[in-house]
Chains A and B, each alone.
Chain A
Amino acid sequence: DAKTTQPNSMESNEEEPVHLPCNHSTISGTDYIHWYRQLPSQGPEYVIHGLTSNVNNRMASLAIAEDRKSSTLILHRATLRDAAVYYCILRDVWSNYQLIWGAGTKLIIKP
């Protein structure tokens, strides 16, 4: 079972920042935090991942709490194309090849 907890859905206005939360209170020291998203009728798409430090890439930022029990995916300026289901996934780099998916957060972008 997924070891993360995310809200079922969130709404945001176009061109505004979006903060998608994820709780992972049982995270272990070797778990990386991965975020993927799935646009309607498409395959999943990698967004970002991190271990302890905050991470930035061209798609998003990942803010990781100091105790690592929660994290937040930040979309700096949401567009209609960002409407998707966002998945927060923990992956133990020493024991797992697979990604274990939860239900994710459905992000709705209002024009």
Chain B
Amino acid sequence: EPEVTQTPSHQVTQMGQEVILRCVPISNHLYFYWYRQILGQKVEFLVSFYNNEISEKSEIFDDQFSVERPDGSNFTLKIRSTKLEDSAMYFCASSESYRDDEQYFGPGTRLTVT
């Protein structure tokens, strides 16, 4: 069964450093998403991406964040200058369409900012 994969599984970085989280969505999916979950809290939407542009973003997704689909398979989330409060699990998801379709989630990347 096809699945969404994410790398790395755990990333430790120092405050102020740039990080890139990587995702490989399911191959025939056209819509891509990033969510995050701070430990013990609820899942929060960050951004959705379609046709090489952002289709929707939340208030969390400020200028420190960017997304990119550098080739036909990868989907990346970059945090330009990490803060302590960026420590969280980051989940990538993809879907075939955006309407009533289900989103398939990856296993997540745990980001720890020290």
* A residues whose Cβ falls under 8 Å from a Cβ of B: 32, 34, 38, 42-46, 49, 51, 87, 91, 93, 96-104
Is B65 positioned at the interface, with any CB of A under 8 Å from its CB? no
Size range of the chain B interface in the assembly: 20 to 34
From the candidates B98, B100, B102, B106, name the one contacting A43 in the complex (CB within 8 A): B106
B100-A32 in contact (CB<8A): yes
Q: In the bound complex, do residue B48 and residue A98 qualify as a contact, i.e. CB atoms below 8 Å apart?
A: yes
Chain B residues near A97: list those with CB within 8 A. 31, 33, 48, 50, 55-56, 98
Contact at B91–A49, with CB atoms within 8 Å?
Answer: no
Among listed B12-20, B38-46, B69-77, B79-87, interface-contacting one: B38-46
Residues of B within 8 A of A98 (CB): 33, 45, 48, 56, 58
B103 touches A46 (CB 8 A): yes
- Does B45 lie within 8 Å of A99, measured CB to CB? yes
User: In whole angstroms, how far apart are the Cα atoms of A101 and B108 in the complex?
Assistant: 17
In the assembled complex, the CB of B99 is this many whole angstroms from the nearest CB of chain A, namely: 4
With A44-B105, A96-B56 given, can you name 6 additional A-B contacts, CB distance below 8 Å?
A: A43-B91, A43-B105, A46-B104, A98-B33, A98-B56, A101-B44
B31 adjacent to A101 (CB under 8 Å): no
Q: A101-B43, A102-B42, A103-B42 are in contact. Are A93 and B100 (CB under 8 A)?
A: yes
The A contact surface, by secondary structure, is loop
- 4 smallest beta-carbon distances between A and B, as pairs: A43-B105, A46-B102, A97-B48, A98-B45
Q: Which residue of B lies closest to A46 (CB)?
A: B102
Of B4, B42, B50, B102, the contact of A101 (CB 8 Å cutoff): B42
Contacts of B91 in A (CB 8 A): 43-44
Residues in B91-114 with C-beta less than 8 Å from chain A: 91, 93, 98-100, 102-108
CB neighbours of A91 from chain B (8 A)? 100
Partner of B99, one of A43, A46, A87, A93: A93
- Nearest CB of A to B35, in Å: 8
Return chain A residues, CB-CB under 8 Å to B45. Answer: 98-101
